[in-house]
Amino acid sequence: MAADSSHETSPLLPTDEQDESIQNDDTMGSNLLWKTGAVFGATAVGLGAFGAHGLKKHISDPNKLANWSTAAQYQLVHSVALLVASNNPVAGVFFTAGMTMFSGSLYALTLDNERFRFMGPVTPLGGLCLMAGWLALAFGKRGAATRWPRF
């Protein structure tokens, strides 16, 4: 005797509606990481330009200026990495945290080393997060470079 499947409430295979819901959740996270990467990239360019032009009027120490330049370069490179990682939320979170801690602490220490001395240990933690982001890309979900988020 065959079972009547017309009364099933939960199919074994996902429906189109369920597929769309899952895809929308992925797209929302991808869009957030994409936009975060774009904003971080724009601010990296602005902060790099400020360091090359405006900061020199206030800071003459070449080591401090080099630290600022390093912060801007790492932020810009990892902004692009965040765009690539927009479909890998683990890598995206690590890149975002890493840029914030690594570059942010270098910016703060360059502007006022005494006031922000407590941020010294934050810099290497940020570097570890950046490395973890790259490892998450290496060993995580693939396909981020071919599936750009929809806006």
What CA–CA distance (Å, rounded) separates 68 from 120? Answer: 14
pLDDT at position 104, please? Answer: 97
Q: Which tens digits make up the pLDDT trace of 65-84?
A: 999 999 999 999 999 999 99
DSSP secondary structure letters along 106-125: HHHHHH-TTTTGGGTTHHHH
Q: Domain residues of the chain, as ranges?
A: 28-139
Maximum alpha-carbon separation in the chain? 88
CA angle in degrees (0–180, nearest 5) for 104-107-108 = 85
pLDDT at position 41, please? Answer: 97
Q: Which tens digits make up the pLDDT trace of 2-15?
A: 555 555 565 555 56
pLDDT > 80? residue 125: yes
Q: Where are the alpha helices (DSSP H) in 53-88?
A: 62-84
pTM of the model: 0.76
Asked if 121 and 110 touch (Cβ cutoff 8 Å), the reply is no
- Tell me the angle at which helices 62-84 and 122-139 cross, rounded to the nearest 10 degrees: 30
Give residue 96's pLDDT band: very low, low, confident or very high (50, 70, 90): very high
